[in-house]
Amino acid sequence: MASVIKVNLPQQSYDIAIAPGSLEQLGEFMTNLHLGKKVLLVSNPTVFQLYGETAIASLKAASFEVASHILSDGEHYKTLASIENLYNTALENRLERSATMVALGGGVIGDMTGFAAATWLRGINFIQVPTTLLAMVDAAIGGKTGVNHPQGKNLIGAFHQPRLVLIDPDVLKTLPIREFRAGMAEVIKYGVIWDAQLFAELEASQRLDEMGHIHSELIDTILTRSCQAKADVVSKDEKEAGLRAILNYGHTIGHAVESLTGYRQVLHGEAVAIGMVAAGQIAVELGMWTQQQTQRQDVLIEKAGLPTKLPAGLDIEAIIEALQIDKKVKAGKVRFVLPTQIGAVTVTDQVPADIIRQVLVRM
């Protein structure tokens, strides 16, 4: 039985379906959506080799006509040039308005496929089949799609909601441990910003650093509660007019760390973990939450095998400068999401640079 979470939106609501083994039922899930017959499956060589055959067999068994497009693996290929190749495959296969693109992969594949689907023929259907923990709990939900510009990450994009997010937790068994841990950073984030019960369940687990050491019931809780948190926030604020900004908890300092380390040395989730530690400390300095609360958060981050310190050699003034050119700057002021309780945050642009500096020096 699948757990189903609804993303309620004014124009088009959709389900997030979570069930072990559901990749084999991809075709059946899609049949219920009454889509056109043509499907373009988009993946990368790593994921396609592992799961492409299962996905294609399921789609064919449900009478879909399937073509595939394999993008090179890695953030480095999240470019407009890759999208142009994808359009060529769409053209060769005469993908019409009723056709569907299916993203089978992590956040990179999901963001790119979503962007191609948003722009091909001014918008066709797309389905997210996320295969990393990070994509399952975050990237695949909410309709942010896009590619990088040489000058910055995700600068080109569109909001385009999927028709379905299908999560098969079994595929996490092949995910490299470091990628699993990076996804756990976003899970811990939901515990801090939205869901105190999820936070408590994470605290109760002996280990969070490896899929194989986490009870399958907790994996289920992690997926359902994280997806529910993201669905709740996106349903209330689809286009980030206000509330959705809270999903950027840990991302202000995190993005600066990612950008200063060239998006290679530190994974996104690792940078978010460092950013959450910094945000927690800033909130303590501002008297918004307690040292004990920030310690509880940091214990979870460590238990997930994630970093809590800045990478060695990173220049603190460079971080402060990088904050000024981040997307989260509004009217010249750096926006921080800061915790006020376990399960609640606030957004502020009133953090003095001296406090940021003081906190970073200690990390």
The residues that touch ligand NAD, with contacts defined as CB under 6 A, are 44, 46-47, 50, 73, 75, 78, 105-109, 111, 131-132, 134-135, 138-139, 142, 144, 154, 171, 174-175, 179, 182, 268
Specify whether 173 is catalytic: no
Does the footprint of ligand GLY cover residue 136 (CB under 6 A)? no
Annotated binding site for Zn(2+): 186, 251, 268
What is the total residue count of the chain? Answer: 363
Residue 320: which residues within 8 A CB-CB, separation 6 or more? 353, 356, 357, 360
Q: Which residue is nearest to ligand GLY (CB)?
A: 247
Report in angstroms how near the CB of residue 172 gets to ligand NAD at its nearest.
Answer: 6
Annotated binding site for NAD(+): 73-78, 107-111, 131-132, 144, 153
Specify whether 248 is catalytic: yes
Specify whether 230 is catalytic: yes
Tell which residue, 27, 144, 39, has the closest CA to residue 95.
39
Residues 141-170 that bind ligand GLY (CB under 6 A): 142, 144
Cα dist. 152→149, 159, 254, 260, 298 in Å?
5, 18, 14, 11, 29
Count the Cβ atoms, other than its own, within 10 Å of residue 132. Answer: 26
Cα separation, 299 vs 308, in Å, equals 9
Report in angstroms how near the CB of residue 358 gets to ligand GLY at its nearest.
Answer: 28
Does the footprint of ligand GLY cover residue 189 (CB under 6 A)? no
Considering the candidates 240, 296, 302, 303, report the single residue annotated as catalytic. Answer: 240
Distance from chain centroid for Cα 324: 23
Cα separation, 100 vs 166, in Å, equals 14
Cα separation, 38 vs 99, in Å, equals 5
For residue 131, the partner it binds in ligand GLY, ligand NAD, none, with Cβ less than 5 to 8 A by kind, is ligand NAD
Considering the candidates 189, 225, 268, 328, report the single residue annotated as catalytic. Answer: 268
Does the footprint of ligand GLY cover residue 247 (CB under 6 A)? yes
Stretch that binds ligand GLY, among 9-17, 68-76, 138-146, 196-204 (CB under 6 A): 138-146
Report in angstroms how near the CB of residue 289 gets to ligand NAD at its nearest.
Answer: 25
Report in angstroms how near the CB of residue 151 gets to ligand GLY at its nearest.
Answer: 20
Cα separation, 106 vs 127, in Å, equals 13
Does the footprint of ligand GLY cover residue 314 (CB under 6 A)? no
Cα separation, 196 vs 344, in Å, equals 8
Does the footprint of ligand GLY cover residue 255 (CB under 6 A)? no
Specify whether 163 is catalytic: no
Residue 298: which residues within 8 A CB-CB, separation 6 or more? 277, 280, 308
165: its two tokens: 């997010």
Closer to ligand NAD by Cβ: residue 345 or 351: 345
Q: Which residues of 184-195 are buried (b: 16+ CB within 10 A; e: fewer)?
A: bbbbbbbbbbbb
For residue 244, the partner it binds in ligand NAD, ligand GLY, none, with Cβ less than 5 to 8 A by kind, is ligand GLY
In contact, 293 and 239? CB cutoff 8 Å: no
Report in angstroms how near the CB of residue 297 gets to ligand GLY at its nearest.
Answer: 19
Interface with ligand GLY by CB under 6 A: which residues? 138, 142, 144, 244, 247
- Provide the annotated active-site residues: 122, 144, 186, 230, 240, 244, 248, 251, 255, 268
